[in-house]
Amino acid sequence: MASSINLKNISVFRLMFLLVLNCHYLNIYLFIFSCIYLLFTDYKEMILFILLSGSVYLIERYRIDFIPFGIVDHISGKYYVVDKVLYKVKVISQLSLNHGDILYFPFQLERVNDDSQLSKNILYSGEAGKVIFKFFPRLFIERQIAKLNNESSSIINKLFFNQYLPSDFDYNLGYGLMSYYLFRYIYAKKPIIGIISMTIYSLFFTFEVKFLLLFLDFFLKKKSDKSKDRFAIKVIVLCLLNKDLINNYSITLPLLFNLFTFIRKDLDFKTYLLFIESLLFGECGLISVFLYHKLIILKIIVFVFTIITILIPSFEKIFLLIIQIYSFINSFDISLRGSISPLCILIFLLFRKYAHYKNFDLKFVLLIILIILPINFPFTHVSFIDVGQGDAILIRKGFIPSAIMIDTGSSFNYYKLRSELMKEGIYTIDHLIVTHEDSDHSGNVEALKKDFRVKEVITEGKDFNWHGLYFDHLDLGTYDNDNDNSLVYYLNIDNKGFLFTGDISKQIDDILVRDFGQLDIDFLKVAHHGSVTGTSEKLISYFLPDFAIISTNGLYGHPHESVLKTLKKYLVRYYVTKYSSTVSIYFTKYYDLLKTGKGEFVIIKS
What are 87-97's pLDDT values in tens digits?
778 887 777 88
Calculate the alpha carbon distances from 387 to 129, 257, 560, 565 in Å: 31, 30, 19, 24
What percent of the chain shows pLDDT beyond 70? 92
Q: How many Å apart are CA 515 and CA 509, to the nearest integer?
A: 10
Categorize the per-residue pLDDT at 173 as very low, low, confident or very high, splitting at 50, 70 and 90: very low
Spatial contact of 207 and 225, defined as CB atoms under 8 Å apart:
no
Which backbone phi and psi does 405 adopt, to 5 degrees?
-125, 140
Instruction: Give residue 90's pLDDT.
Output: 81
Q: Which of 353, 185, 135 is closest to 265 using CA atoms?
A: 353
Segment 374-394 mean pLDDT:
93
What region does 536 belong to: left with phi over 0, alpha with psi -120 to 50, or beta? beta
For residue 210, pLDDT beyond 80: yes
Q: How far is CA 334 from the centre of its chain?
A: 22
570: DSSP letter: T
Q: What is the mean pLDDT of residues 234-247?
A: 86
Of 480 and 79, more confident: 480
CA separation, residue 144 to residues 45, 156, 310, 313, 541 (Å): 53, 11, 6, 7, 62
CB 417 within 8 A of CB 327: no
Question: What is the phi/psi pair of residue 142, to 5°?
Answer: -60, -45
DSSP 411: G
Q: Is 487 helix (H, G, I), strand (E, B) or coil?
A: coil
Q: How many CB atoms lie within 10 A of CB 15?
A: 24
What is the band of 178 on the pLDDT scale with cuts at 50, 70, 90? Answer: confident
Q: How far is CA 535 from CA 47, 313, 368, in A?
A: 50, 57, 46
Cβ neighbours, 10 Å, residue 428: 12
Q: What angle do CA 335, 336, 338 make, to 5 degrees?
A: 135
- Terminal CA-to-CA distance of the chain, rounded, Å? 52
Secondary structure (DSSP) of 162-174? ----GGGTTT---
Mean pLDDT, residues 502-508 taken together: 94
Question: CA 364 to CA 589: how far, in whole Å?
Answer: 33
Give pairs for 535-539: CB < 8 Å, separation 24+. 535/501, 535/506, 535/509, 535/563, 535/566, 536/506, 536/509, 536/510, 537/566, 537/569, 538/506, 538/509, 538/510, 538/513, 539/506, 539/509, 539/512, 539/513
| Confidence bin at 82 (pLDDT 50/70/90) | confident
The secondary structure of 318-362 as a DSSP string is HHHHHHHHHHHHHTT--EEE-PPPHHHHHHHHHHGGG-EETTEE-
Query: Tens digit of pLDDT for each residue in 283-336?
Result: 888 998 998 888 888 888 888 999 999 999 999 999 999 888 888 888 888 889
Q: For the residues 585-598, what does the mean pLDDT come to?
A: 91
360 sits in the region (left: phi over 0; alpha: psi -120 to 50; else beta) called beta
Does residue 595 register a pLDDT over 70? Answer: yes
Whole-number pLDDT of residue 162: 66
- Calculate the average pLDDT of the chain: 87
Q: Is 349 exposed, middle or buried (0-12, 13-18, 19+ CB in 10 A)?
A: exposed
Position 75 scores a pLDDT of 77
Instruction: Please classify residue 398 by burial: count the beta carbons closer than 10 Å to its beta carbon, then call 0-12 exposed, 13-18 middle and 19+ buried.
Output: middle
pLDDT at 167 over 70: no
| pLDDT interval class at 171 (50, 70, 90) | very low
Q: Which residues of 498-534 are buried (b: 16+ CB within 10 A; e: fewer)?
A: bbbbbbbbbebbebbbeebeebebbbbbbbbbbbebb
Please give the average per-residue pLDDT across 228-237, as a whole number: 91
Task: Work out the average pLDDT over 350-360.
Answer: 84
d(CA 100, CA 202): 12
**Cα gap 584→382, rounded to integer Å:** 6
Alpha carbons 264 and 343: distance in angstroms, whole number: 23
Q: What is the pLDDT of residues 396-452, one digit of tens each?
A: 999 998 999 999 999 888 888 998 999 999 999 999 999 999 999 999 999 999 999
The whole-number pLDDT of residue 174 equals 54
pLDDT band per the 50, 70, 90 thresholds, residue 547: very high
66 confidence band (pLDDT: 50, 70, 90): low
